[in-house]
Amino acid sequence: NAGVTQTPKFQVLKTGQSMTLQCAQDMNHEYMSWYRQDPGMGLRLIHYSVGAGITDQGEVPNGYNVSRSTTEDFPLRLLSAAPSQTSVYFCASSYVTGSNGYTFGSGTRLTVV
Amino acid sequence: DAKTTQPNSMESNEEEPVHLPCNHSTISGTDYIHWYRQLPSQGPEYVIHGLTSNVNNRMASLAIAEDRKSSTLILHRATLRDAAVYYCILREGGNFGNEKLTFGTGTRLTIIP
């Protein structure tokens, strides 16, 4: 089925560990992005990309790295996990024009202990 | 970035219409008005979007004020499955527009059986 696929769905990390959250879409969308959602809060933009080889920072980029080598994939890397990065992470994709809506993945629930 | 303002919460009786307001007084001429909803423990889901004219789809209707400084999402006959957080955001219409979009806290809609 066409859509945005996020893996893993759940992850527990120890402080200082690194990991990569995966995001893939099969809709040929140019735009992809990562959001985090903390309890009772809205979604805050971490990083986004408008095409392969192009990335930019969002509202809360510190502690996260991204790269976009293909149209389909947009992984989010945590280099040294901290408890403050405990959150639910959502990936979204879209065509770049404002007349198109975002498609979101089902999320990755990350706990850093 | 153009911002939106929504009430924190609303309640509605089941099987009655629901009108969810959104103010966006700093909207620019090329901004599209988008609505998303987030069911408990799920990723956000696209609902509807529009530019100037009112829009209808199978999920909802979007009524846009003539000056475009406000809009209203209309659920014609609310069901318990419509209980969710509803987000109103603005997205630039041009290609590769400003994609630094952050979702606010939205409106938490409670449906009373």
pLDDT tens figures, B35-84: 999 998 899 999 999 999 999 999 899 999 999 999 999 999 999 999 99
In angstroms, the separation between the Cα of residue B71 and the nearest Cα of chain A is 16
Q: Which of B102, B105, B107 has the highest number of chain A CBs within 10 A, making it the mutation to test binding with A?
A: B102
Q: Between chains, do A42 and B101 touch, taking CB under 8 Å as contact?
A: no
- Over its C-alpha atoms, chain B yields an Rg (Å, rounded) of 14
B108 vs A: CB within 8 A: no
Angle ∠(B94,B51,B87) on CA atoms, nearest 5: 95
Predicted pLDDT at A1: 60
Omega before residue A8 within 30° of 0, cis:
yes
Judge residue A80's burial from the number of C-beta atoms within 10 Å of its C-beta, 0-12 exposed, 13-18 middle, 19 or more buried.
exposed
Say which residue, A36 or B1, is predicted with more confidence: A36
Residue A8: HSE in the Cβ half-sphere, 13 Å Cα cutoff: 9
Q: Which of B3, B62, B100 has the highest number of chain A CBs within 10 A, making it the mutation to test binding with A?
A: B100
| Spatial separation of the C-alpha atoms in residues B62 and B71, rounded to whole Å | 7
Q: Are A77 and A20 in contact (CB under 8 A)?
A: yes
B34 vs A: CB within 8 A: yes
Say which residue, B29 or B10, is predicted with more confidence: B10
Predicted pLDDT at B92: 75
Chain B residues near residue A46 by CB distance under 8 angstroms: none
End-to-end CA distance of chain A: 35
Percent of chain B with pLDDT over 90: 73
Predicted pLDDT at A105: 96
Once rounded to an integer, what is the mean pLDDT over residues B81-93? 90
Predicted pLDDT at B96: 62
| Spatial separation of the C-alpha atoms in residues A62 and A91, rounded to whole Å | 17
